[in-house]
Structure 1
Amino acid sequence: MTTTTSAAVVESAGAGFHLSEVELADPRPDEVLVRMVAAGICHTDLGVAAGGLPFPLPGVLGHEGAGVVEAVGSAVTRVSPGDHVLLSFTSCGRCANCRDGHPAYCAAWLPLNLLGGARADGSPTVTRDGAALGGHFFGQSSFARHALADERSLVKLPADAPLDLLAPLGCGVQTGAGAVWNVLQPRPGASLVVTGAGAVGLSAVMAARLTPATRIIAVDRVPARLELARELGATHTVDTTTADLAEAIGEITGGQGADGVVETTGNVGVAGAAVGVLAARGTAVLVGAPPFGSSIPVDVNFMLPGRKVVGLTLGDSETESLIPVLAELVAAGRLPIDRLIRHYKFEEIESAVGDIVSGATIKPVLRF
């Protein structure tokens, strides 16, 4: 028996989000029906809604969900009805990268999460009046009062966990934290640069504060964001409307450059400049996603002293290991993501989208 629920449907590219009644399929053996409590809004949702990626529309997006389990498939073992859960990305669990603890690099990641709009076998999880809608977004499609999620998308949380605070852990926060902890792994005394003081960049700043890095340099064009970055752990800030990035980083690091860079803006000019401030043996992590086909120039001779440029998806996280740790740090006040969040009613999703686009809100979180 299908579940009828209300969802924020994107009817066509650029049409925005509009509430509509939809039907969710019954859970298959490896699926879970979740009553949504909260869902964060991410720039990836907005890019897909605008038509920037070939996701099938009309469709239901949302990939930072949190809620309560209502029903489980016959083969589900991670969770039971009544459990509080956070929803993140899905993966096949069988390929070499999944078996090696890197599910964000699953061989089937793109069709399962970002582009397919359906289960791996092509069957829909969301329909309306008998017609298939794009769904299964990041294994969840959580811009709805209920979501049918892959078991591998779920992480169980304590029953008293504040779901409307923790929802962004599923994407933005774990991406920023994972860039620092899983990739850069800064040594004592390291200098780190974070370009872009949005939700991912500020999460990277907070994560860096929990490492032995001694210089954490936030880069942005908005003074209020830079001030917040300082409050969250940045030791230095660079406003690129008034300062040259290379000169500023050189001055802060005594001419050595940055041991690590987390580039979150997706701007190819910023990305190229960020790579250019690397110290010998430094690593730049590219997180922000520009349009497909984008490239940045790389001076091969500049790279020869051990410099590296790596891409990153979702913090290279193993969600069942990382997300509970992030939740504990939030509860202990050591990862104050509440400073990034503004809450909206589900019915106010268009207002929330407008505020993230304008920069008025860093991380909107919908409450159902």
Structure 2
Amino acid sequence: MTGPHPAVAAVRSAVRTACADVPAGALVLVACSGGADSLALAAAAGWLAAEGGRGRAPWRAGAVVVDHGLQPGSAEAAAGAGAACASLGLDPVVVVEVGVPRGHDGPEAAARDARLGALADVAQRTGAAAVLLGHTLDDQAEQVLLGLARGSGARSLAGMPARRGPLRRPLLGVPRTTTRAACAALGLRPWEDPTNADPAFTRSRVRSRVLPVLEAELGPGAAAALARTADQLREDAEVLEQLGAELLERCRGVPGDGRDAGPGLRPDAVPDVGLDVGLDVGLDVVGLSAAPAALRRRALRSAALQAGAAAGELAREHVLALDALVVAWRGQGPVQLPGRVVGERTCGRLRFAPAPPPPGGH
């Protein structure tokens, strides 16, 4: 008896490895759009979780389909994806419609955030142990290129993690050609999302124009090389972020030395409100200034986010301005951060607080 098609076997192996630690009887949800990547993923999960047979997974497989409602016919496409998952043996199959608000980061980011929120909600309601996403090696390469174009740091260039909380991406080492071949071998007809070919979307342009040029000019391994780069950068970024978090904890709540107090202002005249009150965070600038720049700036960014700065708008220029309060102090005023938060140096401490309302504002 012949085995499965190589592409089918590759997808199944990736899913089996990604879910090796899922407890027996637990539910694994596949986030399925009906496209080739997520459909191949759903087929593999359904086959692995089928009852009986040697080598089957001990967990159960279900699916969640998110309808963003961004284009005509999206409801029908979502219903079709749900029906395809049911035919592959996945149970339960949950189809959910979400609203996509207009945000500062553009429609792609808003749709992603709405989708992740819906997945988290369905996972909680169903008690799922894991949610599988269909991102492939090609998606990872596209993510790295987008990070390069935006001038992002190592965390962005590290691409998408294989795991984050309940989310798992089994196919990050599997090229898109393999998922398409798996669908063809299984007789599945994927839905083609028209936005994937719409040049109005940045990722679509990277997929249809940029990566093909790189593959043609640099060789067919360009996407794989970008994905490997992401893996290496992620390892480095995780270490640096851990060290940055430890630095932030060491500098929390350490009393300042009062050297910034200015004439007539004693250090003890500045109220020492707790770090768990409002947005106030007090950080010892002496401890921060002694740390390497890479760690210090990670700590400052984390502190700003914890104080309420808007993650999607907090840019490197903001972090560098905060850094100047620590290592290039010349008496400069507060740093205005997105999300109506300010960072200010007083009495040897860097504090974050709500920005005052604009004149005449509420």
Structure with greater Cα Rg: 2
Q: Which has the higher strand share?
A: 1
Q: Which has the higher contact order (CA 8 A, sep 6+)?
A: 1
Normalised by the length of structure 1, the TM-score is 0.29
Q: Which has the higher helix share?
A: 2
Normalised by the length of structure 2, the TM-score is 0.29
